[in-house]
Amino acid sequence: STKLDLLKNLVTKLDKLAIGGGMANTFLYAQGHDVGASYCEKDLAETAREIIRLAGQSNCKLFLPIDIVVAEQMAAGVPTRVRNLGNVDDHERILDAGPETVERLKRAIGNSKTLIWNGPLGVFEIPPFDKGTVETAKEAAKLAKEGKLVAVAGGGDTVSAMNHAGVANDLTFVSTAGGAFLEWMEGKVLPGVEALKV
């Protein structure tokens, strides 16, 4: 919910906004898609709809999953399926972005000058649900190394995901701060940073 409040403030300042991970489930649910047994903050559906409206008014292109990877359990080695939106069974969980979504995100990153990344695209700690995060992170790192992209990653889970993908050292900047990174993104005053100013 903290991130949704942040998005309300940021969406008017961004050209593109990609939403993945558990947060994407809330947005998909808000749009009327079945999310099965997935993690979903249903009480925040109206906030998600408000962000979608703000994105439209601000000419911010919103990237939500167009296909997803589902499984009945969140465990390594379980059978997985790629599903189109609207085809999630009640007992299935959305655990990663699908291959079409990942390709779409990679193209969007390739057409960008700056990437601010907070949060994984799926349950990256449990392969094969790390695939979306790893593939997208490798693309961002490649572009950053080539000097075509300023890639900034922030937040504890994000840093772990970038390390898991083996790309943390190839990004432009990596911040280990979680909540503070989000507050910095929002333009809030950070007491520790203010104290260091001369």
Q: Which domains does the chain have, with CATH numbers?
A: 2-185 (3.40.50.1260)
Partnered with residue 152 across adjacent β-strands are 116, 173
Can you give the pLDDT at residue 42? 95
Give percent helix, percent strand, percent coil of the chain, each to the nearest 5.
45, 15, 35
What pLDDT score was predicted for residue 61? 97
Q: Which helix (H) or strand (E) holds 93?
A: strand 93-97
Neighbours of 187 (CB within 10 A): 9
The pLDDT, as a whole number, for residue 117 is 94
Torsion of CA 112, 117, 121, 124, to 10 degrees: 130
pLDDT of residue 178: 72
Q: How far apart are CA 101 and CA 65, in angstroms?
A: 5
Question: In sequence order, what are the beta bridge partners of 173?
Answer: 152
Map residue 173 onto helix, strand or coil.
Answer: strand
Q: What is the pLDDT of residue 191?
A: 87
- Containing H/E element for 71? strand 67-71
pLDDT tens for each residue of the chain, 198 residues long: 567 878 888 898 899 999 999 999 999 999 999 999 999 999 999 999 999 999 999 999 999 999 999 999 999 999 999 999 989 999 999 999 999 999 999 999 999 999 999 999 999 999 999 999 999 999 999 999 999 999 999 877 999 999 999 999 999 999 887 777 777 777 788 888 889 887
